[in-house]
Amino acid sequence: MSSEFRFPLTDVKENGRLDVNAKTAPETFPDALSEGALVGPVALEGTILAVDDEAAFTGTAKGKWRFECTRCLKPLEQTWSAPIEVMVPIDGGPMDLTDEVRQSIALAQPMKIICKPDCRGLCAVCKKNRNEVNCGHPEIGAGDGVPGGGFAETRHPRLTPRPQKG
């Protein structure tokens, strides 16, 4: 269990604040993303302030992640950032923000990543990337449920299997 995002509150109690500027390895959050992966360190920046009997952290977690384009499966790296706000009793020992950061990564995860707005996806016939290759196959709107190529937008309603003869 990594402890880079755990901060003692003694300074906060004495000085009223503690500036936070920490980094941890992406392995600290192995299960934060349901798809894709974190790339490089996860940074946490912000301030812990003493507010009456509480210690309040306000700041931002940020880093990079890698996903595959939903349509053409090309790997994409993007930076992400997520706001973090946490309050704990100031006498409650060190403030551990690891779980908060993990949750914020999960919430920030995009539902759908597309490498560009007009990504043409993969050819339904030969599986080549239509952004890079003009393979000459006709662009089928929906095919027969072949992934890629705008399948979700133009799904065929008729997918019942044909009765087999003989």
The binding site for Zn ion (CB under 5 A) comprises 69, 71-72, 74, 115, 119, 123, 125-126, 135, 137
Fill in the amino acid letter for 113: I
Q: β-strands 37-51, 17-24: how paired? A: antiparallel
Q: Assign residue 147 a region: left if phi > 0, alpha if psi is -120 to 50, beta otherwise?
A: beta
Which CB sits closer to Zn ion, 51 or 135? 135
**Does residue 48 contact residue 57 with C-beta atoms inside 8 Å?**
yes
| Residue among 32 and 69 whose Cβ is closer to Zn ion | 69
Q: Which lies closer to Zn ion via its Cβ, residue 45 or residue 68?
A: 68
Nearer to Zn ion, 23 or 74 (CB): 74
Smallest gap from residue 72 Cβ to Zn ion (A): 3
Half-sphere exposure of 150 (CA within 13 A, CB side): 12
Cα-Cα end-to-end distance for the chain: 62
Minimum gap (Å) between residue 125 Cβ and Zn ion: 4
At its nearest, how many Å lie between Zn ion and the CB of residue 123? 3
The amino acid at residue 130 is R
User: Measured from the CB of residue 110, what is the shortest distance to Zn ion in angstroms?
Assistant: 14
